[in-house]
Homo-oligomer: A and B are copies of this chain.
Amino acid sequence: VRQGRTYSIALVGATGIIGREILSILEEREFPVGRLKLFASEKSEGEVLEFHSAEVPVSRLKQGVFKEVDLTFFSAGPTSSQEFAPEAVREGAIVIDTSNAFRMDPFVPLVVPEVNRQALLDHRGIIASPRSSTIQLVLILKPLHDAARIKRIVVSTYQAVSDTGRRGVEELDQQIRDLFNFHDVTIDVFPHQIAFNCLPQCGVPLENDYTEEEVGIANETKKIMGDDRMALTATTATIPVFYGDSESVNIETERKLSAHEVRLLLAQAPGIAVVDHLARVQYPQSLHTVGTDKVFVGRIREDHSVEHGVNLWIAADNLRKGGALNAVQIAEALLLEKL
């Protein structure tokens, strides 16, 4: 990636939970950042963030700021992306958007580089990064689909409160402290108490009685895998963990895959770590994903309730591979492709 040239980067939503992670991953991976502009909402104006030992002030978004910017990351939610991403493109920047604003837009590539980096070739200025639950899922579906064609997937998720941003993290923390001190619990970010509870809802309710997260996983998976025949149904739940999303995945394939073959295929695929030895109580755990870059997969078992079935369990850091890391990997792929 580095050939001496550096790039002028902007980051919208710099003080958010994903924004801060993008900044730290750009640093970690020595992304060739030249000029760096940080933006956030009004209430973060004047904050200063550190990047490679330099102090970078956080400004408010306004017209004209994207001139002379090569690449802009948007991680401030869909409203901000809808308002400012097209403007950034007009001012000459390429946009990598981690929000839900453009994911299903037919003119916007939705990219997980290990799975469909070729989709980048068609971009018109905006590239979308999928939701966390989709990213970890498609990473393990891809090698299995290539080998045996996946017909149907039934997925149930176990999602962390950080999927809802820093306020979700703070709410779980505060509710537990209140309960342990015999105080009343305050409910604000989640629709119900999340401490010591399990909520079968991620994202807003849609009219078909599915949640936005459930429909999003299905649609994004089909778009990224480029196969409309692939059937997928999802049930999404938030559990009281801070970081790390897990998923229970049941897969039906056209051609039979033994558990052994699945393990081999996944072990050879990029971005995946197989942790699968039940007898030694080794399997993916949300807690162990924190700060890591891989999608962990384990509990791989043949499912004999259907002709060619496989069960498995995946977990990944929802803020890194599920968010910031995937966005930075898209940027790296763009540089490699000289797009």
Contact = CB atoms under 8 A, between A and B. Distances in A.
Interface in A124-163: 152-154, 156, 158
B281 A311 contact: no
A240 B241 CA distance: 8
Contacts of A152: 305-306
A181 to B, nearest CB: 10
A205 B153 CA distance: 25
B305 A233 contact: yes
A200 B305 contact: no
Contacts of A156: 156, 235, 248
A99 to B, nearest CB: 23
B281 A233 contact: no
A263 B311 CA distance: 29
Contacts of A218: 305
B235 A311 contact: yes
Given A177-B180, A180-B176, A250-B154, A235 B205 contact: no
A93 B209 CA distance: 50
Interface string A163-200: 00000000000001100100000000001110011111
Interface of A: 152-154, 156, 158, 176-177, 180, 191-193, 196-201, 205, 208-211, 218, 231-233, 235, 237, 239-242, 244, 246, 248, 250, 259, 278-279, 281, 283-287, 298-301, 303-306, 309, 311, 313, 315
